[in-house]
Structure 1
């Protein structure tokens, strides 16, 4: 095993509230306009919070195939759409074929799928359990189990692409997308796979989940959707639920070179840790996050001062934002003042299990274009958060290495260091 072989990103696919597709989603976060809106389904259900960040409307049957709406949960739809774009972006399929997402540019037996999801088929649970209670056991849907299983998105992507390598689903809650990239990178380094489609997917906006998060005190109660998600702001009061998917094509640098693929970034470092502290709250000093970030930087083998940008977890909750700022200071000391920070959750809301993958893609885009998106709705930065956070307009900055952080309920932390290819 060559544990030091470079793993590069050769394709990216996005479905987010900021926009669908890599270009539109990136332009959406650069614009810095919140995607949150009053959700009609939540309002009709009378939930305590009715604000959410939905992805642009789509027709599952038209885009994925007849019966997709009935046979597949919404989170699987989003995963398939993002994976399709990533496969095309990486040049793995044949764009002129009847099924262009089918992998033909390399041996599909050596292509893995590794997706993260915190909840899985939330809409299926929300629809089917009331029907079971009302109609009885004989009316339970035979599609319930395959639709709701959190591994269905990864399995469906494999079915559609023909990828027969390692196929796994990672659940570290809101760190799941980043964790999937970490594990996928290591699978390629180990020689188990040449290529892995890795990322995260989530579609958890249901009346039940929103009500539960609201009862926990995790969601913003701001009545203005446009101003509700406000990472690092002194008036932040919780996150806004979002949905989406981000899929990256990872492959060994040697394999990418052999097939003439373009490398957009190197997954240079990955770190993980547990807070071992509390089910939902981070320790005040961000101790678990400190470990994950340090491990990622050490794994990358680079000078910490070369990291010029952080796409922060930045959920807009009082505890998380403050703890993350302290963690960054503990790792980077005075260099923290020279690190340009943003939280794209001000635009997208919190995508839960998809967040880490989507934000890793945004970090790569920032490095490629030398442009860091603003943090939406940050008008009065919390004086206890001593970070250089971009506000108002995107900031131009030269970047050779970037960091993306993710933290999940259960105290699970993930950090990724991405460098120029």
Structure 2
């Protein structure tokens, strides 16, 4: 019989702040973390806004001697893990750490390191790069560093599926516990790709907004949307087998009950025009949970604010839920956090779980002009107090990767 899997700790670092409580408070109020890009000179870039982190102090979480050996995406991951463990109140000294694993992903990895060390090589030549260059840029260093930092010897891997990364990581971690291979899993995603070359490359895809006003830049499902806003940060969850959590009298935030994963097998960047993969992915999660589609009351959408994604996701939702689609509340919290790429699903999973726990659905802000092709309930501009039992969180990535998580309001 499958084990039940619950969430007992969370950690967030984003443009909205550090810590789940701070971020959730702003999300509920519809506050945006999107501002004019200042992390580097934005002259010449077609996009000049971003959801950048401005007040994060890594020394609050990591020893100074380790920082020089660690890319920012690892710093965010470790900091969020520390926050999540603090919230979970799990005493690691009393646990069998061979039964605690880590699945944390990143879409891009150590891009900052790649760019800086390339500059060193160009200016100084061979042999002058940091000996830590390779360990700093490798994507698997996020779960590896977490394991080393906290002495976690269980199941450990790194997921890389572009913007579906976090959803895949959380879903895979869910399955590890469900089948009995771990008692506790650290999972989610991290990203620090707000760098000059990465930002330039995304501008070249023409998928990012060209709206300079931060207040209007990210408008998911709005008729005037014109691209996504790039963000950075991390979202980490502590998943725990139910009996293990109950035995230590843990504060249970929510429960994960379903996971769907597939591929459009259509295009390296564009989603399937009819949302076929997304539709099948949501159906897989619903089937995995063993419930009916009409039991779901809320979806935290992928909702990137691009023309293609928002239409195809809407089509997919309609095809999954049929008439019930009109009664499902949908919001894109990317309208506030920006798009954190491989870390997006980590933060969005936490927001979804809190939505169920507190009976409050966050808004899609900046929604002004309805789109005839996006005609569902997008919780426009103001959050809503509504008791929901089941909710989905979608993540779709370049390459056609799709991953959907299904959460339940926890009850023993």
Task: Evaluate the alpha carbon distance shift between residue 105 and residue 358 of structure 1 in structure 2; reply closer, same or farther with a 3 A threshold.
Answer: farther
Query: Which residue pairs with 2:271 in the alignment?
Result: 282
Give the whole-Å Cα distance in 1 for the aligned partners of 2:391 and 2:325: 13
Is 2:385 aligned against 1:396?
yes
Give the whole-Å Cα distance in 2 for the aligned partners of 1:42 and 1:56: 12
Q: Pick one of 73, 76, 88 that aligns with 1:75.
A: 73
Give the whole-Å Cα distance in 2 for the aligned partners of 1:18 and 1:201: 15
Q: Pick one of 48, 52, 55 that aligns with 2:53.
A: 55
Task: Evaluate the alpha carbon distance shift between residue 347 and residue 90 of structure 1 in structure 2; reply closer, same or farther with a 3 A threshold.
Answer: same
**1:357-384 residue CA offsets vs partner (Å, 9 max, x unmatched):** 1101100111111111111111112121
Q: CA shift at 1:5, angstroms?
A: 1.7
Q: CA shift at 1:63, angstroms?
A: 3.2
Normalising by structure 2, what TM-score? 0.97
Query: Which residue pairs with 1:37 in the alignment?
Result: 35
Give the whole-Å Cα distance in 2 for the aligned partners of 1:408 and 1:126: 23
8 Å CA contact retained: 1:174, 1:407: yes
Compute the RMSD of aligned alpha carbons: 1.2
8 Å CA contact retained: 1:35, 1:226: no
Summarize the alignment of residues 235-384 of structure 1 with structure 2, pairs less than 5 Å apart: 235-384=224-373
Give the whole-Å Cα distance in 2 for the aligned partners of 1:333 and 1:320: 19
Q: Pick one of 7, 10, 19 that aligns with 1:9.
A: 7
Is 2:158 aligned against 1:169?
yes
**1:22-52 residue CA offsets vs partner (Å, 9 max, x unmatched):** 1111011112122111222332564332211
8 Å CA contact retained: 2:102, 2:185: yes
8 Å CA contact retained: 2:51, 2:229: yes
How many aligned positions are there?
410
Residue range with higher mean Cα deviation, 326-335 or 53-62: 53-62
SS for the counterpart of 2:185 is strand
Q: CA shift at 1:226, angstroms?
A: 1.9
Q: CA shift at 1:190, angstroms?
A: 1.9
Query: Which residue pairs with 1:132 in the alignment?
Result: 121
8 Å CA contact retained: 2:16, 2:23: yes
Query: Which residue pairs with 1:65 in the alignment?
Result: 63
Residue range with higher mean Cα deviation, 48-57 or 167-176: 48-57
SS for the counterpart of 2:369 is coil
Normalising by structure 1, what TM-score? 0.95
Q: CA shift at 1:198, angstroms?
A: 0.8
Is 2:212 aligned against 1:214?
no
Query: Which residue pairs with 1:234 in the alignment?
Result: 223
Give the whole-Å Cα distance in 2 for the aligned partners of 1:67 and 1:233: 47
Q: CA shift at 1:62, angstroms?
A: 4.5
Is 2:408 aligned against 1:410?
no
Is 2:111 aligned against 1:122?
yes
Query: Which residue pairs with 2:26 in the alignment?
Result: 28
**1:323-378 residue CA offsets vs partner (Å, 9 max, x unmatched):** 00000000000111111110000001000001111101100111111111111111
Q: Pick one of 385, 395, 419 that aligns with 2:408.
A: 419
SS for the counterpart of 1:225 is coil
Residue range with higher mean Cα deviation, 349-358 or 27-36: 27-36
Residue range with higher mean Cα deviation, 391-400 or 35-44: 35-44
Give the whole-Å Cα distance in 2 for the aligned partners of 1:352 and 1:121: 13
Q: CA shift at 1:105, angstroms?
A: 3.9
Query: Which residue pairs with 1:100 in the alignment?
Result: none
8 Å CA contact retained: 1:110, 1:192: yes
Unaligned runs of 5+ in 2: none
